Amino acid sequence: MKSMFKPLGAAAFAASIALATFPLAARADAASDALVSRGAYLAKAGDCIACHTAPRGKPMAGGLPMTTPLGAIYTTNITPDPDTGIGRYTEEDFARALREGVAKDGHNLYPAMPYPSYAKINDDDMHALYAYFMHGVTPVKQANREPGMKWPLNMRWPLKIWNAVFLDKGVYKEKTGKDVAWNRGAYLTQGLGHCGACHTPRGIAFQEKALDESGSAFLTGGVLDNWFGSNLTGDHNTGLGRWSEQEVATFLKTGANAHATAFGSMTSVINNSTQALNDTDIAAMARYLKSLPAAGGNGNPPYSYDPKATKVTLTRPAATDSGARVYAAFCMHCHGIDGRGFAPMLAPLAGNPNVLEKDASSLINVTLNGTEDLVIQGVPAPYPMPRYAPVLNDQQIADVVTFIRGSWNNGMPAVKVEDVAKMRKSTEAAR
Ligand code: HEC
Ligand code: HEC
Ligand code: HEC
């Protein structure tokens, strides 16, 4: 194979000199376009932009407030600006921030930054991500905001102890006996996708109770930021048990399928992240999710639709059921008399995994606050769920959600008016 050792042509030779001697910025255009665009793709898979961009702020310049059990903190500027961003980060610094939650100057990051998941990112992908953040992101001069919490809660040293207990170091290791697609799906789901940040219940120290399928709590659902991230295991009622692999893939790609329409914090995941992934990666994640055995659930017998169960009509609202009255007046024209909706634009409420979940946070929250538009390939959803906080009082919302929970054979218990009041209060600032 002589040709491999052929001397470089003059132009290539000049370019290689340039590569060797010019600073990174100049090098990027010549050699690493492909690397930078692979990094951009991975940054989508990691959904960095969702957290590191404030509403109406510049991309990746930080400033988004995040609520943690300790108080508000703000995401930081991760554009390559040398003074206020991460322009002075070496690749090593960058990898340490992502995998270990330690900033360049050595301070520990709060785990609102999902480094326990990003710890799994392999070296190749880390390299591409770094190239993208240094050369593919526009630098923005914008100083970081100090956390809103007061001493002693603002102390960062206890995070070292937290990391010692809860952080699993080491990048993702392929599981033998599983095929390529499963391993790719596991890598993306557990790592860059940080799906567990919202879908795995958290313990008393805010730690995710499991970081991969070896823990029984993994992806069984949990509350973060007033939304219940659904159970993604094979549970028949509350999980993905009734979904095919293809249906899971369609949901991640388009935010909707015959069973569900994305809402709450999942909307931003679909808008900014999963819809941009290629079909192979989406299929791999669907494959992996569908391999998770049933866990969690609501303890009821397997759901089946009963056409004879509750019917609501405008002319015959059950006079004694105020929930049915609210439903008929405000919800029925979209969600339907039979609770089956008009998939995929409108999620069915009958047998809906989120409706069958014990925790009703998402149902109360979406009724109060509606949802951000799902935007697929630039096109916003035609009939987004409206917000009813200004229209319905706490009792009416408790009644209508109770009605939905109890109708169409859903068989779930009533929602308390106190829970609606609490949700109204804690989502007030965002309204
Ligand atoms: C769920 C929200 C969230 C996501 C997603 C997220 N981050 Fe962060 N990130 C944060 C928060 C919050 C901080 C600041 C934590 C603190 O100040 O303790 C942070 C801090 C950082 C820092 C430290 C910067 C500094 O000097 O302060 C880096 C680097 C970083 N993130 C990179 C990334 C990259 C790259 C991605 C995507 C692969 C990403 N982040 C995705 C929330 C997030
Ligand atoms: C920021 C929080 C958050 C992150 C991160 C997140 N999700 Fe979600 N997800 C939610 C919430 C909340 C719901 C419930 C609302 C809904 O059904 O859209 C949900 C719903 C879903 C559903 C529909 C389940 C059902 O029964 O309706 C699927 C599938 C899903 N997520 C997959 C994923 C995958 C895969 C990832 C990682 C790539 C992920 N999610 C990351 C918050 C999140
Ligand atoms: C304009 C049409 C429309 C009306 C009216 C409407 N909704 Fe919705 N609703 C939606 C859409 C669309 C979604 C799916 C999320 C999205 O894309 O916004 C949804 C989602 C929901 C969900 C979450 C379903 C799931 O997947 O778990 C609940 C619960 C809900 N609506 C309750 C209500 C209640 C209660 C009312 C009346 C007070 C109501 N909706 C009125 C359109 C509507």
Q: Where are the domains of the chain?
A: 21-136, 180-426
Task: Give long-range contacts, CB 8 A cutoff, 24+ apart: 414-420.
Answer: 415/360, 415/363, 415/364, 419/360, 419/361, 419/364, 420/364, 420/368, 420/394, 420/395
Q: How is residue 145 written in tokens? A: 């905001």
Domain 21-136 has CATH 1.10.760: yes
Q: What is the mean pLDDT of residues 12-20?
A: 40
Contacts of residue 409, defined as CB under 8 A and 6 or more positions apart, other chains included, come to 303, 304, 305, 306, 309, 350, 351
Q: Is the pLDDT of residue 61 over 70?
A: yes
Q: Phi and psi for 108 in degrees, rounded to 5?
A: -80, 140
Residue nearest to atom 9 of ligand 1 (CA): 113
Q: Is the pLDDT of residue 186 over 70?
A: yes
Q: How is residue 295 written in tokens? A: 């866990």
Q: What is the reported pLDDT for 317?
A: 56
**What CATH class is the domain 180-426?**
mainly alpha
Q: What is the reported pLDDT for 14?
A: 38
- The answer on whether 331 is annotated among ligand-binding residues is yes
DSSP string, 141-187: --PPPPPSPPTTTT--THHHHHHHHH---S---PPTTS-HHHHHHHH
Q: Report the DSSP pairing between strands 65-68 and 71-74.
A: antiparallel
Ligand 3, CB within 6 Å, residue ranges: 260-261, 263, 330-331, 333-335, 346-347, 349, 352, 354-355, 363, 366-367, 371, 374, 381, 383-386, 388, 400, 404
Distance CA 300, CA 353 (A): 12
Q: Is the pLDDT of residue 31 over 60?
A: no
Residue nearest to atom 29 of ligand 2 (CA): 248
26 vs 226 pLDDT, higher one: 226
What residue type is 392 in one-letter code?
A: L
Q: What is the mean pLDDT of residues 335-361?
A: 90
- The answer on whether 335 is annotated among ligand-binding residues is yes
Q: Within 10 Å of residue 112's Cβ, how many Cβ atoms? A: 20
DSSP string, 250-310: HHHHHSB-SS-B--THHHHHHHHTGGGS-HHHHHHHHHHHHTSPP-S--SSPPP---TTS-
Residue nearest to atom 16 of ligand 2 (CA): 262
- Give 264: exposed, middle or buried? Use CB within 10 Å, 0-12, 13-18, 19+: buried
Q: Phi and psi for 228 in degrees, rounded to 5?
A: -95, 110
Q: What is the reported pLDDT for 316?
A: 59
Task: Give long-range contacts, CB 8 A cutoff, 24+ apart: 379-384.
Answer: 381/255, 381/261, 381/345, 382/345, 383/334, 383/345, 383/346
* pLDDT tens digits for range 137-172: 999 999 999 888 777 777 888 899 989 889 988 999
CB 206 within 8 A of CB 198: no
Q: What is the mean pLDDT of residues 177-192?
A: 98
- Residue 110 CA: nearest ligand 1 atom is 18
* DSSP 8-state code for residue 359: -
* pLDDT tens digits for range 202-249: 998 889 999 999 999 999 999 999 999 999 999 999 999 999 999 999
- The answer on whether 135 is annotated among ligand-binding residues is no
Contacts of residue 414, defined as CB under 8 A and 6 or more positions apart, other chains included, come to 398, 402, 405, 406
- Residue 108 CA: nearest ligand 1 atom is 18
Residue nearest to atom 22 of ligand 1 (CA): 97
Q: How is residue 236 written in tokens? A: 């028949």
Q: Of the candidates 244, 139, 124, 236, which has an alpha carbon nearest to the alpha carbon of residue 191?
A: 124
Distance CA 91, CA 32 (A): 15
pLDDT-derived band at 20 (thresholds 50, 70, 90) equals very low
Residue nearest to atom 27 of ligand 2 (CA): 260
What is the total residue count of the chain?
A: 431
| Through-space distance between the first and last CA atoms of the chain, rounded to whole angstroms | 67
Contacts of residue 16, defined as CB under 8 A and 6 or more positions apart, other chains included, come to 8
CB 229 within 8 A of CB 220: no
Q: How is residue 231 written in tokens? A: 């159970």
183-201 residues labelled b (16+ CB within 10 A) or e (exposed): bbbbbbbbbbbbbbbbbbb
Distance CA 313, CA 37 (A): 54
Percentage of the chain exceeding pLDDT 90 = 75
Give yes or no for residue 200 CB within 6 A of ligand 2.
no
- The answer on whether 52 is annotated among ligand-binding residues is yes
- The answer on whether 259 is annotated among ligand-binding residues is no
347 vs 107 pLDDT, higher one: 107
- Residue 240 CA: nearest ligand 2 atom is 26
Q: How far is the CA of 286 from the centre of ligand 3 (A)?
A: 25
Q: What is the reported pLDDT for 314?
A: 53
Q: How far is the CA of 285 from the centre of ligand 1 (A)?
A: 23
For ligand 1, pick from 38, 53, 78 the residue to mutate: most ligand atoms within 8 Å of CB: 78
Could you give the C-alpha distances from 93 to 89, 365, 395, in angstroms and in order?
Answer: 5, 39, 52
CB 229 within 8 A of CB 205: no
Say yes or no: do domains 21-136 and 180-426 share a fold: yes
Contacts of residue 161, defined as CB under 8 A and 6 or more positions apart, other chains included, come to none
